[in-house]
Amino acid sequence: MAELGDVVRINYAGRLEDGREFESSWRTGEPLDAKLGSGRLLPQVEQTLCEMLPGERRTLRLAPERAYGIYDETLIQTIPLDRLPNADQLPVGDYIEIKTARGTIRAKVLSVGDNGIVLDLNHELAGETVIFDLELLAIIHETAIHKELHPEGCTCGCDRLKEQIG
């Protein structure tokens, strides 16, 4: 079985309760490689993958609080027009990415008017129960040398040492 720190290769599909699919590696034909514990996958998905054997399939149903969160009305924010370049041309109803000091966030543009830009900062699947169909294809146990070559670096901390020295 896989453990935190292992890389797993999976096929997956994510859908809503009404059957609408929002993502699928089966549809794209490209399995996903993900390092367990990196935060790339939802914690409940990682936990389920740690309980599976290669070749096994499972379906996981997650309530909003265990998936992408409860929809939070306080995350609807109005910001002044001058805070975003070309604010009058923003695509109402679409998502934009905003760079902040803490990183990049996605926001849905609800409206653009004289009073400012109204943005919804909730995850686009907030408030939704989601269902994931998972198939564990392989567990890729990396050697220490492979971990060194991995973008996240080695788990022993030598990558931080290299940054300090270099």
In degrees to the nearest 10, what's the CA dihedral of 150, 31, 4, 129? 130
Please tell me the predicted confidence (pLDDT) of residue 16.
Answer: 98
Res. 151: pLDDT tops 80: no
Mean pLDDT of 6-29: 96
Give the Cα separation of 89 and 81 in Å (integer): 11
Model pTM score: 0.75
The most distant pair of C-alpha atoms in the chain lies apart, rounded to whole Å, by 58
Which structural domains are found in the chain, ordered by start? 7-68+126-165 (3.10.50.40), 73-120 (2.40.10.330)
Kindly write down the DSSP assignment for every residue of 91-109, as one continuous string.
-TTSEEEEEETTEEEEEEE
Where is pLDDT greater, at 27 or 114?
A: 27
Give the Cα separation of 132 and 14 in Å (integer): 5
Give the Cα separation of 2 and 6 in Å (integer): 6
157: left (phi over 0), alpha (psi -120 to 50) or beta: left
Cβ contact 1:46 at 8 Å? no
pLDDT digits (tens, 9 = 90+) for 42-99: 999 999 999 999 999 999 999 999 999 999 999 999 999 988 878 888 889 999 998 8
Please tell me the predicted confidence (pLDDT) of residue 110.
Answer: 96
Give the Cα separation of 26 and 11 in Å (integer): 6
Burial of residue 51 (number of CB atoms within 10 Å: 0-12, 13-18, 19+): exposed
Pairing of strands 76-79, 32-35: unpaired
pLDDT digits (tens, 9 = 90+) for 97-146: 988 888 899 999 999 998 899 999 999 999 999 999 999 999 987 666 65
Token pair for 126 = 């907030």
